[in-house]
Amino acid sequence: MQRKELGIAVIGAGRIGTLRARLAAKHPSVGFLALSDLDPARARALAEQTGADFHSGDNLEVISRPEVTAVIVSTPEGEHAAPVCKALELGKPVLVEKPLALTLADAQIILAKLKETGGHLRVGYSRRFKECFLRAKEQMIHQRLGRVVGGLARVYNSRAQAFSILKRDPHATPVLDVLTYYVDLMCWFMEGNAPVEIVARGQHGIFREAGYSAHDVTWAIVTFADGAVVNFGVSYALPAKYPTLGQSDRVELLGTEGTMLIDDDHMDHVLYSDRGIPHAYVPDHHVNMAFLGSNTAGDWAVGDFWGPLGNETRSWLDHLVTGNPTVHTTPEQARINLETTIAIERAVATGKPVRLPLET
Amino acid sequence: MQRKELGIAVIGAGRIGTLRARLAAKHPSVGFLALSDLDPARARALAEQTGADFHSGDNLEVISRPEVTAVIVSTPEGEHAAPVCKALELGKPVLVEKPLALTLADAQIILAKLKETGGHLRVGYSRRFKECFLRAKEQMIHQRLGRVVGGLARVYNSRAQAFSILKRDPHATPVLDVLTYYVDLMCWFMEGNAPVEIVARGQHGIFREAGYSAHDVTWAIVTFADGAVVNFGVSYALPAKYPTLGQSDRVELLGTEGTMLIDDDHMDHVLYSDRGIPHAYVPDHHVNMAFLGSNTAGDWAVGDFWGPLGNETRSWLDHLVTGNPTVHTTPEQARINLETTIAIERAVATGKPVRLPLET
Amino acid sequence: MQRKELGIAVIGAGRIGTLRARLAAKHPSVGFLALSDLDPARARALAEQTGADFHSGDNLEVISRPEVTAVIVSTPEGEHAAPVCKALELGKPVLVEKPLALTLADAQIILAKLKETGGHLRVGYSRRFKECFLRAKEQMIHQRLGRVVGGLARVYNSRAQAFSILKRDPHATPVLDVLTYYVDLMCWFMEGNAPVEIVARGQHGIFREAGYSAHDVTWAIVTFADGAVVNFGVSYALPAKYPTLGQSDRVELLGTEGTMLIDDDHMDHVLYSDRGIPHAYVPDHHVNMAFLGSNTAGDWAVGDFWGPLGNETRSWLDHLVTGNPTVHTTPEQARINLETTIAIERAVATGKPVRLPLET
Amino acid sequence: MQRKELGIAVIGAGRIGTLRARLAAKHPSVGFLALSDLDPARARALAEQTGADFHSGDNLEVISRPEVTAVIVSTPEGEHAAPVCKALELGKPVLVEKPLALTLADAQIILAKLKETGGHLRVGYSRRFKECFLRAKEQMIHQRLGRVVGGLARVYNSRAQAFSILKRDPHATPVLDVLTYYVDLMCWFMEGNAPVEIVARGQHGIFREAGYSAHDVTWAIVTFADGAVVNFGVSYALPAKYPTLGQSDRVELLGTEGTMLIDDDHMDHVLYSDRGIPHAYVPDHHVNMAFLGSNTAGDWAVGDFWGPLGNETRSWLDHLVTGNPTVHTTPEQARINLETTIAIERAVATGKPVRLPLET
């Protein structure tokens, strides 16, 4: 059993970058932690919070530090390419947040660099690491459903969280930002069976009234190569104080020999408090009724972090030390996720079916 | 408060006709019960079971009996027109099973007769009378959701029940036979807002293997006049011993000011029995695990019948006596349901969007 | 099929009496409706609302009306005896609200009168008539669980509803007023197997702070004659705006050959509305999140009433017309329910086991 | 950030010991792994499976190895004392499975040794490390419920698993073996508020018929120091093929300012497979319907282990490296758990209330 210490760089000190940094700081094999953010003050604050060894306002500088042996890229989605490519050039393994990029062109840049360097790159589709989805994948591996003929994956969230996202990025869309997780899950469950056609429709409501282009609700029917038809849906427009504190979803799979229904709406852990319950990611937002466990990334509780982003981060860091295989989304899988979600948006915009792969 | 006694004719002594007859026999205002079926022996047997006053192999004879003041038509779907029209001609109110007919042409025949006679006709979309959906409609009346932007209605059932249906009618399809209930519900919830466009996809599996044309799963996205997008889904291909004893469904509505989620999958009442639990409608079929309350029409329990078909029947019979208004599906609503489900099938078959109203 | 018209007297125009009167007014066989209340104005108002034929401030006068053929007694619980006995003396069938009385002595008075007159008396434990419990009883009749070894029945409700009850009757207790329903259910499910011993504990909290003697929570373990041990629990102290609009309960039965779990907490039908949802029985009380279907008696929806009290009332009125048997709680069953709940309270108060039957 | 490598000894290669060993082998900081079991062949087999560095039939030998820096004791419950005491004498931190011991006398031996050596000892009440319970504890820390007045914790499991346990240890009881987890949880949630009195009842059924003394169902009402009353229940007698693959439980807490309901029955992830689903711990036992996520310790999925025992083990190993605080059950807490469960059994056996602390 070979063991080695890790030097981790976290590039981007926003919400997810902060989580990655805090999780890396707690990992028993991390001996060196470096943080960067285009806002040096934010990097410094996070460094203080995590006891990091180095911080800077220069992403590439941090990636290049000799003590850094692996890199987590948590910049805004449109800025993944540069730091990812730099790390690959330096031969350092990379975990980048989802989606891989915002355009297929940027995704291609990253994939080309990966091919050129023969490096290690994984994409942070952390929902794979929710316990129910890990268990679901195991059942799929054992073919418990026979041949999958159809399925459903729909995800809801409150507009409080949506406006929080839109404030940071007015052009964010629930399809590219959130539904992509469920495309990733379904493609993973039906590994080897890729999406080939999409029809989709959307409806405007409160987001348009607030000046954004995002749809209130989008439904898409995705047909896979063997004919399986999966329905995807997303709405991030639920009332602000609806009790979910993150993604409230259901995933259902129908097969010739079995059925699997996953209720991830989190009504299995309800808390009502007259004192109010704060929302982890929406400032000054309290609810009296909460579905605990709905916090998308996971929860800080009793001094540790529990949930998909924690499982994902730890699993990746463990892998760097032990070499044990993991199930993080590969770059090619991430490219399919991106292409599929772009196709869903195109299908909504045009009202026409869209075939995959997309004509460039 | 005027009260009068009813003379009821039930035309068709199949599964649903049997229920209607038994329910009519129990109703305190029914003073005369007449039954008919093309198979006179079946009519006789049901007459004995219910203590009916008259039975025959001639539908029109029974409808014409002078003691009969109202008619329930429970023939196979393709045979509704003749008995319905006869009853309307004789000025007798009619409750006919869903769907109104199997083709728009037959539906039109019935609607024309209705207009000509100025009669009373309602269509047995009994799912409206499930308590949760009655409560849901009340909330919609009070506009608790604001403007509906989208929704979901999906229904599953076991292949045991599907094969039971297909044996009786090999050309039955889950869309026309079952999904129609959910089209009815959604149109009722969004009264005044009609479907205008449909895209849909389906996948084959076990039914095709068994020699039927029905799809294992169908998804449809229906756009309504104000832009609301509702996703509908149906699969009647779940494993034979999956614990549902009837329709297992979910109905979700998303509005600008509210959200309503209805879990009608019946996992709220589970029974596991080593002794086995019989299926009400699939002969010689026992399960060890059952989701009670999933029996689509309702359940006989402690000597009475409880559930949507009971509520619907009683409500209609009460209406005939008291004149109190009810919420049974009107013929025009039923026509829209039929047209919409035909459009869904056409959308699946062609792979193209289908606009409503259908070009004749 | 003999049919006859009913003349119904409803004695007591409070919350439940109002429901009974409205339901009787809608029943197709009711030809005469008379109402009484010690407050004549309240009787008059209800008479106007229901179109009743007669109203009075004198209960016994109304019971004695010649048009009245059956009586529903909905007075406060401590006042059941006089009107019930009067009706029995006059040979008129009676449905009286639960509990039969507040003391065993008063219960005995009623039972003695019943024996003397050979009359018909049923007690309004309407929870039997909730669909899930009717279905559950049917399964028990078929012995699907084998021998019952144990079970659980716990019921929660918000303090908003509790304070509403306590305002009307400061000495009301959740055990005598509410848990009695679940004692009734369990005794019905295990018919022939009576409670023989009870241990119980309670805890004070917000009710005591508000000046009432009621416990916030009570747990009781009831041992039945064959050794089965059932746990009962009640708390009516949940936060005022907790989403339940009535009883939120679970009933579980464990047998040698089967298990039955009934989730009656109503999270299967959730409504979140920014517009607020009124509480049927707590004035000026709105919640944004509601578990629909939790309204204890049932709901008015689309012009009719749906739920246990509706099923129970209609079933009784139907029985009066048709003679069909029903499953309403018998007076002897009600006496056992009363004795058992009194014993639970005594077990809490003394901290000692209490054996049944109670020493007088 | 100081990091050091761990040398772990796992004492006992049974079901749980096997899990501990496999988890330790995967941990990035474990550089040396030694295993022992009174059956040397079992130790050898596990060593091969995990790539351990050393194995033996002599527990104390393994504990004494110089490379071993920390010890996990997973022997049968009645044999904890010797290995735990040896490790403490050698100054090595210990994680021992629950319960601490089977008798208070043995627990006292361990506690005395702990005091004498000033060592580190934690007890493996792994249910604390189920995500829902970690989140629940966090809410309790923030006092979201105000003062707790009452609660409920009940756990069910199938007799298949029970017989599997009884085969290994015919004197095992559901109270000492399983309900102890929920006593631990409740005492942890209400930290500082100890149990002071217990009443309890049990019923025999299938276990007695099979020759064991265990009850089919046990209910206990535990009163805490401040008067809070919590109901505990356990039944491990559910039908063999009931869909749970481990503990199926509910935990509910009622407070003056809030309510928390945790549904851990796992009906949120259902799988029906015609192919059958194996039970992780009952050999040759397949079910067609399973509630995934009900596996008590957790699940192996996609090459890693996910669930409470995994969280607990990793958290402890991380702590040994990083010094970060954790929430593992302390020896004194474990002693209270043991005393309370012994008291529950005594209360059932005697039919009398039992006060805590127990008279020795």
Structure ipTM: 0.96
Report which of A254, A80, C167 is spatially closest to residue B217, judged by C-alpha positions.
A254
Structure confidence at residue C168 (pLDDT): 87
Query: What are the pLDDT digits (tens) for A193-249?
Result: 999 999 999 999 999 999 999 999 999 999 999 999 999 999 999 999 999 999 999
Contact D277, D288 (CB under 8 A): yes
- Structural element, H or E, at residue C238: strand C229-238
String of DSSP letters for D183-251: HHHHHHHTTT--EEEEEEEEE--HHHHTT----SEEEEEEEETTS-EEEEEEEEEE-TTSSBSS-EEEE
Measured from the Cβ of residue D112, the count of other Cβ atoms closer than 10 Å reads 11
Contact A72, A8 (CB under 8 A): yes
Structure confidence at residue A3 (pLDDT): 52
- Nearest CB among B139, B145, B275 relative to C258 is that of B275
Judge whether residue B216 has pLDDT over 80: yes
Please, which residues bridge with residue A272 across strands? A289, D259
State how beta strands D229-238 and C258-264 pair: unpaired
Query: What are the pLDDT digits (tens) for D16-33?
Result: 999 999 999 999 999 999
Measured from the Cβ of residue C68, the count of other Cβ atoms closer than 10 Å reads 22
Collect all residues with Cβ–Cβ distance below 8 Å to B148 and sequence separation of at least 6. B189, B190, B193, B228, B253, B254, B255
Rounded to an integer, what is the distance from CA D109 to the centroid of its chain? 20
Judge whether residue B294 has pLDDT over 70: yes
Cα–Cα distance measured from residue A95 to residue A177, given in angstroms and rounded to the nearest whole number: 17
Structure confidence at residue C280 (pLDDT): 80
- Nearest CB among D238, D239, D288 relative to B241 is that of D288
Chain B residues with CB inside 8 Å of A221's CB? 199-201, 219-221
Contact B135, C292 (CB under 8 A): yes
- Nearest CB among D239, D243, D272 relative to B239 is that of D272
Query: What are the pLDDT digits (tens) for B269-283?
Result: 999 999 999 988 788
Please, which residues bridge with residue A123 across strands? A96, A329
Average pLDDT, chain D: 96
Percentage of residues in chain D having pLDDT higher than 90: 95
- Asked if D145 and A303 come within 8 Å (Cβ–Cβ), the reply is no
Contact D207, D166 (CB under 8 A): yes
Contact C161, C253 (CB under 8 A): no
- Nearest CB among D147, D203, D218 relative to C205 is that of D147
If you ran DSSP here, which 8-state letter would residue D347 be given? H
Rounded to an integer, what is the distance from CA A134 to the centroid of its chain? 15
Judge whether residue C324 has pLDDT over 50: yes
Cα–Cα distance measured from residue D293 to residue C206, given in angstroms and rounded to the nearest whole number: 37
Structure confidence at residue C1 (pLDDT): 37
Q: Which residues of chain A have pLDDT under 70?
A: 1-4, 360
Where do runs of H (alpha helix) occur along chain B?
Answer: 15-26, 40-50, 59-64, 81-89, 104-117, 131-141, 159-168, 174, 180-189, 206-209, 308-322, 331-350
Interface of C with B in 38-57 (CB under 8 A): 51
- Asked if C239 and A273 come within 8 Å (Cβ–Cβ), the reply is yes
Which of the residues A288, A291, A292, A294 would you substitute to probe the C interface, choosing the one with the greatest number of C C-beta atoms within 10 Å? A288
- Nearest CB among B204, B219, B242 relative to A221 is that of B219
Structure confidence at residue C284 (pLDDT): 85
Cα–Cα distance measured from residue D299 to residue D282, given in angstroms and rounded to the nearest whole number: 14
Chain B residues with CB inside 8 Å of A152's CB? 154, 219, 233
Cα–Cα distance measured from residue C293 to residue C313, given in angstroms and rounded to the nearest whole number: 18
Identify the chains in contact with D, defined as 3+ C-beta pairs within 8 A: A, B, C
pTM of the model: 0.97
String of DSSP letters for B82-150: HHHHHHHHTT--EEEESSS-SSHHHHHHHHHHHHHHT--EEEE-GGGGSHHHHHHHHHHHTTTTSSEEE
The C-alpha angle B13, B16, B17, rounded to 5 degrees, equals 30
Cα–Cα distance measured from residue B80 to residue B255, given in angstroms and rounded to the nearest whole number: 37
Structure confidence at residue D219 (pLDDT): 98
Structure confidence at residue A2 (pLDDT): 44
- Structural element, H or E, at residue D24: helix D15-26
C236 part of contact set with chain D, CB < 8 Å: no
Chain B residues with CB inside 8 Å of A147's CB? 205
Phi, psi of D64 (to 5 degrees): -80, -10
- Asked if C206 and D256 come within 8 Å (Cβ–Cβ), the reply is yes
Report which of B26, D166, B260 is spatially closest to residue C323, judged by C-alpha positions.
B26
State how beta strands C195-203 and C148-158 pair: unpaired
- Nearest CB among D202, D254, D258 relative to C229 is that of D202
Cα–Cα distance measured from residue C271 to residue C292, given in angstroms and rounded to the nearest whole number: 7
Cα–Cα distance measured from residue D37 to residue D15, given in angstroms and rounded to the nearest whole number: 12
C291 part of contact set with chain A, CB < 8 Å: no
Q: For the range C18-22, what are the long-range contacts, defined as Cβ-Cβ under 8 Å and sequence gap of 24 or more?
A: C18/C46, C18/C49, C19/C297, C19/C305, C19/C309, C19/C313, C20/C72, C20/C74, C20/C309, C20/C313, C21/C46, C21/C50, C21/C52, C22/C49, C22/C50, C22/C305
Cα–Cα distance measured from residue A47 to residue B62, given in angstroms and rounded to the nearest whole number: 87
Judge whether residue C3 has pLDDT over 80: no
Report which of C228, C345, C199, C179 is spatially closest to residue D197, judged by C-alpha positions.
C199
Phi, psi of D243 (to 5 degrees): -65, 0
Contact C312, C328 (CB under 8 A): yes
Chain A residues with CB inside 8 Å of D132's CB? 268-269, 292-293
- Nearest CB among A240, A243, A274 relative to C289 is that of A243
Structure confidence at residue B43 (pLDDT): 97
pLDDT interval class at C282 (50, 70, 90): confident
Chain B residues with CB inside 8 Å of C311's CB? 306
Contact D50, D37 (CB under 8 A): no
Query: What are the pLDDT digits (tens) for B4-59?
Result: 699 999 999 999 999 999 999 999 999 999 999 999 999 999 999 999 999 999 99
Query: What are the pLDDT digits (tens) for D287-303?
Result: 999 999 999 999 999 99
Chain A residues with CB inside 8 Å of B259's CB? 156, 238-239, 242
Collect all residues with Cβ–Cβ distance below 8 Å to B196 and sequence separation of at least 6. B223, B224, B225, B355, B356
Cα–Cα distance measured from residue C284 to residue A133, given in angstroms and rounded to the nearest whole number: 44
Where do runs of H (alpha helix) occur along A100-245?
Answer: 104-117, 131-141, 159-168, 174, 180-189, 206-209
Structure confidence at residue C60 (pLDDT): 96
Identify the chains in contact with A, defined as 3+ C-beta pairs within 8 A: B, C, D
Give the mean model confidence (pLDDT) for residues D96-106: 96
- Nearest Cα residue in chain C from B262: C269
Give the mean model confidence (pLDDT) for residues D202-221: 97
The C-alpha angle B65, B66, B67, rounded to 5 degrees, equals 95
Cα–Cα distance measured from residue C36 to residue C56, given in angstroms and rounded to the nearest whole number: 5
Report which of D93, D100, D155, D89 is spatially closest to residue D124, judged by C-alpha positions.
D100
- Structural element, H or E, at residue D60: helix D59-64
C270 part of contact set with chain A, CB < 8 Å: yes
CA D353 to chain A, closest CA, distance in angstroms equals 32
Phi, psi of C137 (to 5 degrees): -60, -40
String of DSSP letters for C4-41: --EEEEEE--SHHHHHHHHHHHH-TTEEEEEEE-SSHH
CA C149 to chain D, closest CA, distance in angstroms equals 6
Judge whether residue D1 has pLDDT over 60: no
Report helix, strand or coil for B22. helix
Please, which residues bridge with residue A53 across strands? none
Cα–Cα distance measured from residue D347 to residue C229, given in angstroms and rounded to the nearest whole number: 14
Cα–Cα distance measured from residue D181 to residue D337, given in angstroms and rounded to the nearest whole number: 8
Judge whether residue C130 has pLDDT over 80: yes
Collect all residues with Cβ–Cβ distance below 8 Å to C350 and sequence separation of at least 6. none
Burial C210-240 (b: 16+ CB within 10 A, else e): eebebbbbbbbbbbbeebbbbbbbbbbbbbb
Report helix, strand or coil for A118. coil
Q: Which two tokens stand for residue B58?
A: 């001639």
Contact A110, A84 (CB under 8 A): yes
CA B103 to chain A, closest CA, distance in angstroms equals 27
CA D327 to chain A, closest CA, distance in angstroms equals 7
Q: Which two tokens stand for residue C90?
A: 């006059």
Judge whether residue B1 has pLDDT over 70: no
